[in-house]
Chains A and B, each alone.
Chain A
Amino acid sequence: MTDQQPAIRLTGLTKEFGAVTAVDHVDLEIAAGEFFSMLGPSGSGKTTVLRLIAGFEQPTAGIIELFGQDVTKRAPFDRDVNTVFQDYALFPHMSVLDNVAYGLRVRGLGRRERNERAMRALASVRLEQMAARKPSQLSGGQRQRIALARATVVQPKVLLLDEPLGALDLKLREQMQVELKEIQRDLGITFIFVTHDQEEALTLSDRIAVFNDGRIEQLGTPAELYERPTSRFVADFVGTSNLFDAERSRDLLGREGHHSVRPEKMTVTRDGLAGEGVVNVPGTVVEAIYLGSGVRLVVDLDDGTRVTVLEQNDRDRIHDDERGDRVVVSWHADDVVHLGTEVLPGISG
C-alpha cells in the first residue's frame, strides 16, 4: 500500500461559495481498494469534497490527483470516477436496462455488447427481471441498486457514493450496507462514501474522515475514532460520549483539559467498585430506559454533571434501578479519553 499510488490525493483543496468557505484546505490520501467514508453533519463540506472529486464543482484552490494524475481541471466525463447520487438520478425516460447501459453507450459500444454487459451488472444486483421497466416503477431499494449497477458497469477506478442509503428505511438500509460491502470486495475498487450517519460509517469503512466546518477534524479507522477521539467534536459526533469540560475534569478526574468517557465504559452499582484506577462517583438516577439488549441510565452526579450509562443485559445483573435511586457510577481511569485543552467554540456538552 505504501509504494502504490494513492487512488485519490487531495492537496490544499479549497472551495468557496461567495463568502462561505465550504471546503477549507483539505489534504487527504485515499488508498486504492479502500472503503473510505467522509462523515460529518450537513454543511460540514463532505458532499462538496465529493462533488469536487467527481468534477461537478471546480475548486477555488488545491489539486485533485487520481492515481497520481492531476485531474483538477478535467470535466466530469473525463475522469475515471463514477457517482451514485443521493436521489439516484436515474433517467426517467429510459428503461432500467438503458439506464445501466448508458455509460457504455456514450463510450460507443454496440447495442449487443452493452446490453449484455448491462444485463450482467443487473444480475449482480439481482434485478435482471426489471430490465424492461421504467425507474418510476421500482421501489427505493431497487432504484438504489440500479444506480449502483449503472455506476459500476463502466468499471470506474473510484466509486463515489453520496449518502446512497439516506432515503431507505432502516431494515433495507442494513441489508444494503451488507450488499455494498460485498460489492466493494468483489470489484476491488475504491469506495468513497459520504454519510452523516456515524453508525453506518463505523460499520462499513476501512477508514473515516470526520468533517467539521470544511476541515477534517480527525482521520482514522473506526476503532481509532471511537476509542480515541482527539476532539470534543469527534467524541460527541461519533457515538455518544459523556463529556467533561476543563473545570469538571479537574474536580472529578484531577486532570487538565477536556475529557470524555463512553456510556458503555461506565457501570452503575449501589456501593461502587473496588480496584486500582477505578473512579467512583455517587449520584441519583434521573431516568432508566429499557432497551432490550441493555438499559440506558441517566444519572445526575452529586456535583451536577449529568452522565449516560449503558448497561448490558447480563445474566447476573438485575436492572431494578429506578428514578430517584441513589447509586454509584464507576469507570476505569484508562477509559477516560483526553480531548485536548483548548476551548472549542460552538460545541456544548
Chain B
Amino acid sequence: MRLSRLSRTTLGVVTGLILFLVYVPLLVVLVNSFSTSTSLTWPPPGFTLEWWGRAFQSAGAMEAVATSVQIAVVATIISLLLGTLISIALQRFSFFGRDAISLLIILPIALPGIITGIALNNFFRTIMGVPLSIWTVVIAHATFCIVTVFNNVIARLRRQGTNLEEASADLGAGVWTTFRLVTFPQLRSALLAGGLLAFALSFDEIIVTTFTAGSGVTTLPIFILNNMFRPNQAPVVSVIAVVLVVVSIIPIYIAQRLSGSEQQRR
C-alpha cells in the first residue's frame, strides 16, 4: 500500500508520540533506580548504585520474588495442562454446548480483575471454607492464565487441521502414540508461547492476588505497592520495577519470536 507523504509523516509522528508516552515513564523508572534522591525528585540530584545493592540484600524483596515465581510457575503448569486438554476437546471433537464452553474459557481474561478477586475471595472463604493461602492465589491466577495457553493452542490446532493426525493413524499409530509423536511436537512452540504469556500474566498480577492471598503471602507486585510510599524505600522499589520490566520483556519477546518464525515458515 502506498501512502502520501503527508499521511506518512502524520502517522509516523502519532506513532512516535504514543510510543514516547508509553516508554519514557519506564525510562524514568530506570533512571530513578540510580538516583541519590530517596523521594524520587526530578531531575535526579546525583547517581548511585546503592539501591541496587540494597534491593538485592532486602530479604522482603527476595522473598517476594520467590513467592511470585513459585505462584507463576505452578499457575503456568496448571494452565498448560488444562489449556491443552480443553483446546483439543473443543477443536477435535464436537459435542453439545461446545461454543458455550469456549466462551466460558475465554471470559475470565475479559472480566475485571476486581470482580474475579471478590468472587473468588467469597467462594474460597465463605462457601468452600478454605483459608486463603498461596494456593488460593495459584488457583485464581490459573483461571485467567489458561486463556493464553488455550488461545495459542487452539489457533495452532485449527491451522494444523487433522491431516497429520489422520496420516499417523493411517500408518498404524494409536491415539496416544499419535499425540506423542505428531500432535505434541506440532504444539510445542504454541505451548511455549502460551506458557510464557501465562507466566508473565501471573507474575505481575496484583488485583486478584490482593483478594486471594493469605496473610503473609507477599508477591512482588504487592511488595512494591506496600513499599512504594514508605520513606526511603522508593528507589529500592524502582530497582525492583526495572527488574520486573526486564523479566516481563524476555518471555514476551521469546513468545513473539516463536509465533513470528512459525508464520514465516508457512
Return the chain A residue nearest B173 by Cβ.
A106
B14 within 8 A of A: no
**Distance A54 CA – B163 CA, assembled complex (angstroms):** 13
In chain B, positions 79-119 with a C-beta closer than 8 Å to chain A are none
CB <8 Å contact, A93 and B186: yes
A321 within 8 A of B: no
B231 within 8 A of A: no
In chain B, positions 154-187 with a C-beta closer than 8 Å to chain A are 163-164, 166-174, 177, 181-182, 185-186
B230 within 8 A of A: no
**Distance A82 CA – B174 CA, assembled complex (angstroms):** 15
**Distance A56 CA – B170 CA, assembled complex (angstroms):** 8
CB <8 Å contact, B164 and A91: yes
CB <8 Å contact, B185 and A56: no
Residues of A within 8 A of B163 (CB): 85, 87, 89
CB <8 Å contact, B170 and A83: yes
Name, among A76, A82, A85, A105, the residue most crowded by chain B CB atoms within 10 Å (CB to CB): A76
B265 within 8 A of A: yes
Task: Tell me the minimal C-beta distance from B196 to chain A in angstroms.
Answer: 20
- Quick one: given A93-B185, A93-B186, A106-B181, are A76 and B166 in contact (CB under 8 Å)? yes
Residues of B within 8 A of A89 (CB): 163-164, 166-167
**Distance A154 CA – B171 CA, assembled complex (angstroms):** 8
CB <8 Å contact, A85 and B172: no
Task: Tell me the minimal C-beta distance from B163 to chain A in angstroms.
Answer: 4
Residues of A within 8 A of B185 (CB): 93
**Distance A267 CA – B217 CA, assembled complex (angstroms):** 96
A263 within 8 A of B: no
A75 within 8 A of B: yes
CB <8 Å contact, B171 and A85: no
Contact of B182 among A87, A91, A107, A151 (CB under 8 A): A91
Bits for A291-329, please: 1 = Cβ < 8 Å to B, else 0.
000000000000000000000000000000000000000
In chain A, positions 265-305 with a C-beta closer than 8 Å to chain B are none
Task: Tell me the minimal C-beta distance from B190 to chain A in angstroms.
Answer: 13
CB <8 Å contact, B166 and A102: no
CB <8 Å contact, A54 and B172: no
Return the chain A residue nearest B160 by Cβ.
A92
Name, among B169, B173, B174, the residue most crowded by chain A CB atoms within 10 Å (CB to CB): B169
Task: Tell me the minimal C-beta distance from B148 to chain A in angstroms.
Answer: 23
**Distance A81 CA – B164 CA, assembled complex (angstroms):** 16
Return the chain B residue nearest A82 by Cβ.
B170
A40 within 8 A of B: no
Residues of B within 8 A of A154 (CB): 171-172
Bits for A130-155, please: 1 = Cβ < 8 Å to B, else 0.
00000010000000000000110010
CB <8 Å contact, A77 and B182: no
Task: Tell me the minimal C-beta distance from B238 to chain A in angstroms.
Answer: 44
CB <8 Å contact, A77 and B170: yes
Task: Tell me the minimal C-beta distance from B255 to chain A in angstroms.
Answer: 19
Residues of A within 8 A of B182 (CB): 91
Contact of B167 among A75, A85, A93, A107 (CB under 8 A): A85
Q: List 30 A-B contacts (CB under 8 A).
A: A54-B166, A54-B170, A55-B170, A56-B169, A56-B170, A76-B166, A76-B169, A77-B171, A77-B173, A77-B174, A82-B170, A82-B171, A83-B166, A83-B170, A85-B166, A85-B167, A87-B163, A89-B164, A89-B166, A89-B167, A92-B186, A93-B186, A102-B168, A102-B181, A106-B171, A106-B174, A106-B177, A106-B181, A151-B170, A154-B172
Pairs A-B, 10 closest by C-beta atoms: A103-B171, A89-B167, A76-B169, A106-B173, A89-B163, A93-B185, A77-B169, A83-B170, A77-B172, A106-B172
In addition to A56-B166, A81-B170, A83-B167, 20 A-B residue pairs with Cβ atoms within 8 Å of each other are A54-B170, A55-B169, A55-B170, A75-B169, A76-B170, A77-B169, A77-B170, A77-B172, A77-B174, A82-B170, A85-B166, A89-B163, A89-B164, A91-B167, A106-B168, A106-B174, A106-B177, A106-B181, A150-B171, A154-B172
